[in-house]
Structure 1
């Protein structure tokens, strides 16, 4: 019997089995911004073999469970605990990574841009993403997260209404960030450096791939778990 079914949503699958995000990322299946639609819709739209994907997904999940892995069920922790995890795992990472990665993106554009014109587009889109996500982090840390912590204590309905309003804004900003990441993925051919690329080129692409993975995990935790609490 298969644990995951064709009408499950990618978001719910990743809640149960976080490593499913690796398979979804490989197949370019959205599990964060648009992850609340049945898997069937995405598979039909993308003409992906659903039977093969579900088999791989369920086999991977079985192996993962048989190995004794235990993953935190974020649905069962408090909002404050989830916020702490998001700050430590995702906000801190972005705050430490965005500026150094900006320097790498700029460097390879300056050195290789004449021969690789796509690097001009990468430079532009990366810095759009950087500006968007930096402003987004500030808004979450200064307004949304403190308000959620306050609501846990007070259960004030006015706070709840304001949180719902902020959540809608955050989801819209997540969509923008996700679209920019997908654009960078396309520009870089899936973050695969060209043949003969120098070390700086390869490091830049590897760090962009890590940025994509971390940020999609970040958006998933907020859109599909925190905001739904």
Structure 2
């Protein structure tokens, strides 16, 4: 018996089985910013064999559970605990990673940009991403998250309205951030290294791929779980 079917949304599937994000990424299915449509709707006009995809996800999920892995039921986790998880796993990562990775992106552009024209585009995209994310993190950490913590204690209607307004703006910013991630991936052919790439090139692409994975998970937790409350 299948656990997931075509009426589930990608966001629901990833919420239950986080590793499903790997399969969706492979098929270029967005589960964070546009993950609230059913899988049936999502794959319209996409060259995806949805039955085969679902079979792969369901089999992987069964194996994952048989191996003793436990699902985190985010619906049973308080908003404060979820915020703490987001801060520790995602915000702290970005604070630590953005500036060092900027130096690598700049280095390979400076050294190899003359022969690899796409590195100029990557340099522009990355630093736009970096600027947008830094201001976004500041707004969440200093305004939105404190309001959510406050509401969890007071249940104040005015606070709830402010949270709703801010959450909507954060989702709009998430869409822009997600678009920049996609453009960086497209510019680098999915972070595939050119022939003869040096160690700095390899490190940069590996860290960009990790940045993409961490940020997509980050957006998913906020858009599809925290903000839905």
- TM bracket, shorter-chain basis: over 0.9
Q: TM (normalized to structure 2)?
A: 0.99
**1:43 shift after superposition:** 1.9
Kept in 1: contact 2:104–2:200 (CA 8 A)? yes
Specify the SS of the correspondent of 2:29.
coil
Specify the SS of the correspondent of 2:75.
coil
Report the Cα distance in structure 1 between the residues aligned to 2:31 and 2:162, rounded to whole angstroms.
Answer: 26
Matched residue, 1:119: 119
**Counterpart mapping for 1:71-110 below 5 A:** 71-110=71-110
Q: TM (normalized to structure 1)?
A: 0.99
**1:74 shift after superposition:** 1.2
**1:25 shift after superposition:** 1.3
Report the Cα distance in structure 2 between the residues aligned to 1:169 and 1:17, rounded to whole angstroms.
Answer: 27
The answer for unaligned runs of 5 or more in structure 1 is: none
Matched residue, 2:162: 162
**1:44 shift after superposition:** 2.4
The answer for unaligned runs of 5 or more in structure 2 is: none
Report the Cα distance in structure 2 between the residues aligned to 1:143 and 1:170, rounded to whole angstroms.
Answer: 11
Matched residue, 1:128: 128
Report the Cα distance in structure 2 between the residues aligned to 1:7 and 1:72, rounded to whole angstroms.
Answer: 22
Question: Alpha carbon RMSD of aligned pairs, Å?
Answer: 0.6
For these two proteins, the number of residue pairs brought into alignment is: 229
Matched residue, 1:150: 150
**1:42 shift after superposition:** 2.3
**1:40 shift after superposition:** 1.2
Matched residue, 1:211: 211
**Counterpart mapping for 1:4-43 below 5 A:** 4-43=4-43
